[in-house]
Structure 1
Amino acid sequence: MPPPSQGQQMSPKNYQPGAPAGMGAPPQGQGFPPPQQRMPMPARPGTTFPNPANVDNLSGQMTGMNLNGPAPPNQQMNVNGPQKMGQPSVPPMVGGGRYPAPLNGGPTPQMNGIPDPNAPRPMQQRYPQENTQNFQGGYPPMSSPPGGYPPQPGYMPQQAPFPAAQPSYPSGQQPQRRLDPDLMPSPIDVVMEDQRSRSGIFYTNQKGMPPPLVSTDFIAVDQGNSSPRFMRSTMYNVPVNADMMKQAATPFALVISPMAELLEEEQPPPLVDFGEMGPVRCIRCKAYMCPNMQFFDGGRRFLCLLCKATTEVPAEYFQHLDQTGLRVDRYERAELMLGTYDIVATKEYCRDSIPPKPPALIFLIDVSYNNVKSGLVSLLCAQMKSFLYNLPKERGQEKSSLKVGFITYNSSVHFYNMNPNLGQPQMLVVGDVHEMFMPLLDGFLVDVEQSEGLIDMLMQQIPTMFADTKETETILAPAIQAGLEALKAAGCAGKLLVFHSSLPTFEAPGKLKNRDDRKLLGTEKEKTVLTPQNKVYNELGQECVQSGCSVDLFIFNNSYIDLATIGQVARLTGGDVYKYTYFQADLDGDRVVADVRANVRRLCAFDAIMRVRTSAGVRPTDFYGHFFMSNTTDIELAAIDPDKAVAVEIKHDDKLSEEDGVYIQTALLYTSLCGQRRIRILNLALKACSQMSELYRTCELDTLMNFFAKQAVFKLLDATPKGLKDNYITRSAQILACYRKNCASPTSAGQLILPECMKLLPLYMNCMLKCDAVSGGSDMTVDDRWFTMAAVSTMDVPSSAVYLYPRLVPIEDIGDDMPSPIRCSADKMADDGVYLLDNGIYLFLWLGLAVPSDWVSAVFGVPSTSQVDTDKNRLPVLDNQLSEKIREYIGLVGSSRHRSMRLTVVRQRDKMELVMKHFLVEDKGLDGSASYVDFLCHLHKEIRNIVS
C-alpha cells in the first residue's frame, strides 16, 4: 500500500565485498548486469510520537495499587524505577546491529532469476540488537547489564525493565489511577522502526536471519532461501533439543503461501526442465535438488543435508566440480542457486500417468426467489463478460487456457450446452437430484472466445427465464455434485464458483434443518453449532479433492444458512467463502463484482499435493488451514491461490546439531493454468542454537501470532472457550518467563522485562483472544462466527497482522503522502478528527461531531456531520481535490486486502459507534474483555508466579 522508503545506506568503510561462502566467480561472458541498477525507493512519511512521560511517573502511578484500587499496605509492591539501576542514559546506537541495506542494492535479478555472484554483497548483517529501549528514550550501556550486576553467561540486553502493578484479572471495577497506555510498547513504533531500518533490498542467503516485518516495504532477492513471501518461520534459531523447546514454550512453526504474489521488482520462480529423466532427488528422503545439496567424488555423488544420504548423480545431470568443490555450471542452474523454483513434472507425477488438461471454471448460480428478487442474478449475468475478460494467463501467454461452463439451480439442476456450432444455447434439466449425472458429452466446457456469442445470449436469457420464479426452497449438494461430475466427464481439474442464497431445505441430498442458536456462542456448548450437522458436505468435499475440484462459496443469505455445515466443501477443497448478508444490488453490487473479478483473476495451482520435508532431528506434526489429508504427511488441495497460507508445526524427534542447523523443503505438486504438471520447491535453512538468548533474538512475532490464531480456531472445536484462553495466557506467560529467567539480568520482581522481538506479544495475544474468530459471542450470528473462523484459518501473515491489530488511520489532513496509522484506541481519536479503521474484513469511516463544516461539505456535500447519510456505503463523487484524495485512499486500502470490504460510515455517538469500538483493540471491550493495560498487568502477575 504505502510506497517503500529509502533503504538505509552503508558507509563505504563498513562495506565488506565478497560472495557468501561457497560462491566462486561466475563464468565469463554471461552478461550479468552491473550492480548499480537499483530501483529508487521514495521516502515514506511517518508519524512522530512525543516522548512518553518519565518512567518515575509510571512507577508512581503503579506503586501500591492493583487493578481493583489501592492495595493494602502489606501487599504494596516494591517497584524500582530505572534510576536505581545505575544505568546512565546514553544516546541511542545508530544502526545498533539492525540490518543495513546493502550498498548499491547488490545484484539485480537477471536471466533465469539467478543473482550475479560477482556483484557487491551486503556486509554480514547481524541480528537486530535487543534495543534496551526504556520509556525515557535512554539506553543503558552495553558493557554491563542493568542493576550493576556483572555480566551473566548468555546475558542479552532486553526491552527496558518495566514496572508493573499487582494485577487482578479481569478487573471488576475501574482502577483509581489509570496507567498510561502510551508507556506500553507500541506496535506503531515497532512498525515504523522496522520500516526505517530494514526497508530496501533483503537478501535471503543469511542463514538464521529473520526477514523484515510484513508491514515493511522490502524487495526480496532470492539467494538460496525462499522469499519470506512464500515461507516464514516463527523462529530462525531453533533450539537443539525438545527440552529447550519445551522450556521456551515458543512453537516452531512455518506459515507457507506457496503461490504468493511477488512485487513487480521481484523475480518470479523460474521453470526448470530436467527432460525425460525427471527431477533429481535424494535416494532416501526424496528431497529435490536444491542449493543445500553438496556434491563430491568429482561431481558423481551428492550429499543430502536433510537426511545425510548420498545419491549417485544421473549421467545426464553430471558436471565437474571447480577447485572449491562446487559445480562449474551452478550459475546456469536455478535449482543450485535459488530457494524457490518450479520443476516440470514427468508423467509419473500425473494422475494415471496421463498429462493433465488445462483446468476449467464453472459458475453455479442459485436462481431461486431470493437471488432473483435481490438483483443478484441480473448483476452476475450483466457482469459475466467482465469476469471472463479477467481469466488468468501464464507468463508469456496471449490468452487464457481455462475453459468455462455454466449451471443454474433451484430445486433442480440446469446445464447449458454452449457448443460454438449451435445457433443458441441449449438448456438441459436434471430433475432427479438424488442421482446426479452429467447429461452433456460435449459443449458444456467451452473456450470463451469461440463461444462468446452464445455466452452473451445465455446471460441475457437467464434473468428472463427465472424472473417470475416462486421457488423459495433450494438444493445445494446436488448442484455442487453436478459441477464435480462435469469436471470428471471432461477429465480436468477446476474450480466451482457457487452463488447461493439460503439454507438448503428442499428434499434432496444435503438437506439441512435450522439449528440456529446464537446464545450458545461463547459458551461450552458453542461447538454444537460450529461443527457440521451431517457428513454429506464433508464427504462431498473429499470427493471433490480426489478429482481436483475446488469450491468457492459466495453466500447471499437473509437468514441462517448453516455455514458450519455447507462450508465444509470449501474448507476441504482449499476454497474460499465470501459472505454478503442482506445483499442489495445497488449497495453491495460493486463489492460482489470486485470479489468475483479478483477471484477469477488469481493465479491458482490446481489439483495440488504439498509435502514439507525437514532435516533429521525435527519433523512436521500438525497442520492448519483449508485442505484435506488422507495420511499424516500429504496436504491435498484441490486448488490453492496466492491469498492462502497453511501453517505447519514442527517438533523435535531427536537432538539437532548446531553445526548443521535445520533444513526445510516444501514441495507443491500441482497443475498449472496451461495444464502442465509442475512441482514448486521452497527451501529454507535455519540455524540451531543451544542458548536461549539466540532463540529469543530471532523469533518472528507476526508469524507466531498467525500460527497461534490458526491453532486456536482449530482447537476451539474440541476445547471450551475459557479453557482455550487460559491455555494461551499461560503459554504467553511461559514464553516471557523463560526469557526473564534465562536471558535477562537479575532485577526487581516488580519489573516486567520483555524481549525486543516479542515486546508486543502481550498486546497481540490479547487481540487474538478478543477477536471474533476466537471469542465471538451472542452479539454476532453463528454464520458470521464460522465465517471469521474460516477466514483466519486461511490467512497469510500480512492478513492476520491487520486482522489482529486493525489499522486506524487519521485522514482528515490527508495530503500527497500516505497517512500513518495510530494506536488502536479511542483515546487517540479527537472530536474534530476523521478516521478510517479496517481489519481486512470490516471497514469503518468514523466522523467526529466537531469535524469542520468545510471538510464535511467537500467530502459528503452536506454542511455538517449530523447531516451525513450513514446508510450509504460509498462516498459521493464530488469535484474537488479533497474528495478525490479521500476516495482514492479508501479505494487503495480496499484493493490491498484479499476481499472487498463494505464501507460503514460511523458518526460519533451513533449506535454504530459501539460496533466500531469493538475493533479498538487496546481498549477494554464492551463484553468486559481486558484492555491492553489490564492484560499486560495480568500477564505480569502470571510471569511472576512462574519465576518465583
Structure 2
Amino acid sequence: MPFPHIGQQHVGGGPMQGLVEEFQSLSVGSIPGSLDSGIDAKSLPRPLDGDEEPRILESYPLNCHLRFLRLTTHTIPSSQSLLARWHLPLGAVVTPLAEVPEGEEVPIVNFGTAGVVRCRRCRTYINPYVTFTDAGRKWRCNLCSLLNDVPGEYYCALDATGRRLDIDQRPELSKGSVEFVAPTEYMSSLSQPQMMVVADLDDVFLPLPDDLLVNLSDSRHVVDAFLDSLPSMFQNSANVESASGPALKAAFMVMSQLGGKLLVFQSTLPSLGIGRLRLRGDDPRVYGTDKEHTLRIPEDPFYKQMAAEFTKHQIAVDIFAFSEKYSDIASLGSLAKYTGGQVYHYPAFQAATHHEKLRYELARDLRRETAWEAVMRIRCGKGVRFTTYHGHFMLRSTDLLALPAVDCDKSFAMQLSLEDTLMTTQTVYFQVALLYTSSSGERRIRVHTAAAPVVTDLSEMYRQADTGAIVSVLSRLAVENTLSHKLEDARQLMQLKLVKSLKEYRTLYAVQHRLGGRFIFPDSLKFLPLYILSLCKSAALRGGYADVPLDERCATGYSMMILPIRRMLKLLYPGLYRIDEILTKGTDNLDESLKPLALTSQCLDARGLYIYDDGISFVIWLGRMLSPDIVNSILGVDLSSFPDLSRVQLYEQDNNISRRMMRILKALREKNRSSYQLCRIIRHGEQPREGFLLLNNLIEDQTPGSSTYADWILQIYRQSQSS
C-alpha cells in the first residue's frame, strides 16, 4: 500500500438526507520494508489554531453567543435508541459571565414596576423565541407552549407577519443574551478595621462580632497600614504550626452576616485545632489498588461541612496554596469546590520568582467581574432534562446551582437525558438564568437563550458535534472518575468512549463503502483522538505515583473542573513556538509570525529558541547551538557563568532582542487574561529540568507508560475495527 496520507472523502449520506456528508480518512498502510502498519505522523490532524467554535449562529442568529453556551452536538437526538448510538456526552458547557469584546456588552433591560415578564407555568423568561398571538395580547412560551397574557404596560401591536412593531427596540425579543434588573434593595453598614487574635483554638469566639468589618473606601489608610505591618508582626515567631480550621471558623463568624469572598493563603499543612490534617503523604503501595483514589479526596469531613456553611451564608472561598511540601490540596480544595471558588497553586513558592504571577492573579481575582449571592438554573424544553452537573457549586435542589460568587473565568458542564422514548418537537430550547447581586449592589438576572434542532439521523449529530464542548465535559468526567477509581480506570474510560464513538461512525459508512485499511472519522471530531490522548497525559490523569506530585495532581483537577473551553484546550494541547528568527529580524505582524508547532521533540532544532505556553506557565528552551549573542541579549548574562537557570529572572534589557522577547511574552499573555504565565528557562539537555518541564509535556512523543500520537491512532483504529 502507498505511504499513508489524509484525504477527504465526499460520500452520500443515508436515505433520510440528500446532503453531502464529508468525512476525513487516514490510510493505514504498511511502510516499505516493515511488517507493521504505519501512519505518516506529519499528516495527522493537529489543533494548531486552538479552539474552533462551530458555526451555529448562521442558522440560529437569535441564539446567545457560543462564549456563553455550547452544546456537545448542536442537535438533539429524536429517540432513546438514537441517543444510545451516540457514545459521547450529550450536554452543554455554560460560562454565564464570559468576558465580551468591547462594544458587545450584554444589554440591560429594566421593566420597572411592571416586573420581569415570565411564563406563569415553567417560569421561563421572555426571549426572542416566544411568539405573540391575539393581536399582541398573548404570548406563547417556547419551552412549555403555555399561552400567557401580555401585561398591559408591555403590550404592543403586531405587524402583518405577527411580529411586534417594537421588536428592534426590545433587546429581550431580539438578542440571545440579556440582563434584567430585578427590583430589590441591598444595604450594609460597616465600621473600622481591627486585627483579631484567637487564643483558644477549640472554642473560637469573636471579641467584637458586630464591628470587625469595614468599608474599604472609608478606611483605606487603616487597611493599608495593617497590611504593611503584617510581614514584621510575626517575623520573630519560631512557631511554624498552622491552625487553618479555627481561622476558618473565626472568618465564618465575622462574615456570616454579610457574605462575600474569603481568600485563604496556606503555606503549610494545617496542623492545629479542628480540621488539622495528617501527613498522609503519597503512598506508592496504594497506587493500582482499590484504595488509590482515597489520596485524592478530602480526609477530614470538616472541610466539606465548612464549605456547606459558607455556601449557606453566601461566602465563596479561594485557596492560594504555596507549600513546597505536601499540604493536602485534596482536602483544602473542597472549600473552593462547594462555594464556587477556585484553587491557585504555587508549588515551591519563592517571592523572587513568583511575585509577579501572584500579584497579577490576586489582582485579577479581586477585580474581575463577579456575580455575588448567585443561583443558576438551566431550563430546557419538552422531552429533555439535565441530569448531572460538573463544576464548582453546591447543588441546592435537583437543578438549582448555589454560587456564593461566580465570575468570567468559571464554566460549568452538564449532561442531558431524554425523558421519553420519542421526541415530539422539532426544536429544543435552552435557557440559562443566573440571579445575582452585582458589585454595585444591584440585583440582576442574566439570561441566555438558545435553540437546537431535533434530528433523526446519527450522521447529523456527528456533523454538528463540537469538539471543544465534548472535551470540556469529558475532562470533568475523567477528573471526577479519579475521585472514586484508579487513574488507569479513568484513562481506560476515556479511551473506551472514543473507540465506541468512532466504531459507530464507521458502521454508518461500512455498508455503502469499501473502507478497507482506512481509519475514518467525522471532520467535526478530527482533533478528538489527540485531545483524549492529551487528557490521559495531563497532570490530573497521567502515570501513577512517581509521575506527578499528589498536590499538583489535585490542584490541576480542581482547575480543570472550572476552566472555560478555550483555556481547557490550551492546557491540553499547549502552544509551541520557535522565536529566534523573530528576535533577530523583528516582525511587523507578531500574530502571523508566531506559528504554532506540533508538540513533538522532532520540532526542536538545536539552533533555535522556543516558547512552550500552556496558559499557566512559559517554558523557554534554549537550543544547544543557539547563538550566544541571543542568549546574552535576553538574559543580560553569559550563560556559561550561570549554571542554575531555575533562578534566572527575565527582565527587559537595553537591546532590541530583549525588547522583542518581552513583546512576544506580553502578546501571548494578552491572549489569555485569566492567569499569568510564569517564565521558566531551560537549556537543551539540562536534566532533570528539561524532562519534567518540557519533554514530558510534548504529548505527541512517547513518555513512560504512554504511546506516541501515531501509535495511539493505530491503537484506536484497530479497536474501532474489531467487532
For 1:913, the aligned partner's letter is: E
Whether 1:757 and 2:524 are equivalent positions in the alignment is yes
For 2:488, the aligned partner's letter is: K
Whether 1:922 and 2:700 are equivalent positions in the alignment is yes
Contact 1:848 1:865 in 2 (8 A): no
Note the alpha carbon deviations across 1:484-540, whole angstroms, 9 max, x for none: 222223xx231011112111111x221111111252456543211111111111011
Aligned residue number for residue 397 of structure 1: none
Contact 2:95 2:408 in 1 (8 A): yes
Counterpart-to-counterpart distance in 1, 2:156 and 2:536: 55
Note the alpha carbon deviations across 1:163-209, whole angstroms, 9 max, x for none: 22699xxxxxx997864210222322x659x69xx9xxx883623xx
Give the drift of 1:836. 0.8
For 1:259, the aligned partner's letter is: L
- Aligned with 2:59 (options 184, 203, 206): 206
Aligned residue number for residue 163 of structure 1: 27
Note the alpha carbon deviations across 1:67-103, whole angstroms, 9 max, x for none: xxxxxxxxxxxxxxxxxxxxxxxxxxxxxxxxxxxxx
Note the alpha carbon deviations across 1:353-407, whole angstroms, 9 max, x for none: xx3347x9xxxxxxxxxxxxxxxxxxxxxxxxxxxxxxxxxxxxxxxxxx8xxxx
Whether 1:940 and 2:708 are equivalent positions in the alignment is no
Could you state the TM-score of these two structures normalised by the residue count of structure 1? 0.71
Counterpart-to-counterpart distance in 2, 1:478 and 1:852: 56
Contact 2:22 2:523 in 1 (8 A): yes
- The percentage of aligned residue pairs carrying the same residue is 30
- Aligned with 1:840 (options 615, 622, 629): 615
For 1:936, the aligned partner's letter is: I
Change (3 A) 1:830 1:159: farther
Change (3 A) 1:468 1:270: same
Whether 1:901 and 2:667 are equivalent positions in the alignment is no
- Aligned with 1:271 (options 98, 108, 111): 108
Counterpart-to-counterpart distance in 1, 2:566 and 2:543: 22
Whether 1:576 and 2:339 are equivalent positions in the alignment is no
Give the drift of 1:743. 4.8
- Aligned with 1:185 (options 21, 45, 51): 45
For 1:851, the aligned partner's letter is: L
- Aligned with 1:595 (options 350, 358, 361): 361
Whether 1:56 and 2:2 are equivalent positions in the alignment is yes
Change (3 A) 1:480 1:873: farther
Counterpart-to-counterpart distance in 2, 1:151 and 1:274: 50
Give the drift of 1:336. 0.8
For 1:808, the aligned partner's letter is: L
Could you state the TM-score of these two structures normalised by the residue count of structure 2? 0.92
Give the drift of 1:247. 0.6
Aligned residue number for residue 261 of structure 1: 99
Counterpart-to-counterpart distance in 1, 2:602 and 2:695: 11
Counterpart-to-counterpart distance in 1, 2:266 and 2:637: 39
Deviates more, 1:686-695 or 1:787-796: 686-695
Corresponding residue SS for 2:197: strand
Give the drift of 1:777. 2.3
Aligned residue number for residue 396 of structure 2: 630
Corresponding residue SS for 2:320: strand
1:47-446 matches, cutoff 5 A: 56-58=2-4, 134-135=6-7, 156-164=20-28, 179-188=39-48, 204=57, 206-207=59-60, 223-265=61-103, 267-347=104-184, 355-357=185-187, 419=192, 426-440=194-208, 443-446=211-214
Aligned residue number for residue 770 of structure 1: 537
Contact 2:490 2:541 in 1 (8 A): no
Contact 1:181 1:933 in 2 (8 A): yes
Change (3 A) 1:795 1:447: same
Counterpart-to-counterpart distance in 1, 2:218 and 2:521: 63
Contact 1:299 1:318 in 2 (8 A): yes
Counterpart-to-counterpart distance in 2, 1:564 and 1:497: 17
- Aligned with 1:870 (options 642, 645, 649): 645
Give the drift of 1:237. 2.0
Aligned residue number for residue 475 of structure 1: 243
RMSD after superposition: 2.7
Give the drift of 1:299. 1.7
Give the drift of 1:788. 0.6
Aligned residue number for residue 680 of structure 1: 446
Contact 1:605 1:639 in 2 (8 A): yes
Note the alpha carbon deviations across 1:578-597, whole angstroms, 9 max, x for none: 11222221222122111111
Contact 2:28 2:37 in 1 (8 A): no
- Higher-Rg member (1/2): 1
Aligned residue number for residue 889 of structure 1: 664
Contact 1:531 1:565 in 2 (8 A): yes
Whether 1:643 and 2:419 are equivalent positions in the alignment is no
Whether 1:585 and 2:351 are equivalent positions in the alignment is yes
Corresponding residue SS for 1:773: coil
- Aligned with 2:578 (options 795, 807, 810): 810
Contiguous gaps of at least 5 residues in structure 2? none
Whether 1:670 and 2:459 are equivalent positions in the alignment is no
For 2:717, the aligned partner's letter is: H
1:602-613 matches, cutoff 5 A: 602-613=368-379
Aligned residue number for residue 31 of structure 1: none
Name the count of aligned residue pairs: 708
Corresponding residue SS for 1:772: coil
Counterpart-to-counterpart distance in 2, 1:498 and 1:191: 33
- Aligned with 1:689 (options 455, 470, 477): 455
Aligned residue number for residue 484 of structure 1: 252
Give the drift of 1:656. 6.1
Contact 1:548 1:607 in 2 (8 A): yes
Note the alpha carbon deviations across 1:390-440, whole angstroms, 9 max, x for none: xxxxxxxxxxxxx8xxxxxxxxxxxxxx72xxxxx6444232333334433
Contact 1:658 1:687 in 2 (8 A): no
Contact 2:606 2:623 in 1 (8 A): yes
Counterpart-to-counterpart distance in 2, 1:516 and 1:685: 49
Deviates more, 1:426-435 or 1:306-315: 426-435
Change (3 A) 1:342 1:153: closer
For 2:719, the aligned partner's letter is: E
Give the drift of 1:877. 2.5
Note the alpha carbon deviations across 1:646-691, whole angstroms, 9 max, x for none: 0011111125658631100011111110111111101111111112
Contact 2:70 2:469 in 1 (8 A): yes
Change (3 A) 1:550 1:528: same
Counterpart-to-counterpart distance in 2, 1:611 and 1:151: 39
Aligned residue number for residue 42 of structure 1: none
Whether 1:495 and 2:261 are equivalent positions in the alignment is yes
Contact 2:411 2:562 in 1 (8 A): yes
Give the drift of 1:787. 0.3
Note the alpha carbon deviations across 1:458-480, whole angstroms, 9 max, x for none: 22332232121122111112222
Give the drift of 1:722. 2.7
Whether 1:512 and 2:277 are equivalent positions in the alignment is yes
Contiguous gaps of at least 5 residues in structure 1? 1-54, 60-133, 168-173, 208-222, 348-354, 361-402, 404-417, 420-424
Change (3 A) 1:914 1:329: same
Counterpart-to-counterpart distance in 2, 1:293 and 1:497: 43
Deviates more, 1:469-478 or 1:650-659: 650-659
Deviates more, 1:316-325 or 1:629-638: 316-325
Contact 1:500 1:556 in 2 (8 A): yes
Corresponding residue SS for 1:622: strand
Corresponding residue SS for 1:730: helix
Corresponding residue SS for 2:280: coil
Corresponding residue SS for 1:754: strand
Aligned residue number for residue 352 of structure 1: none
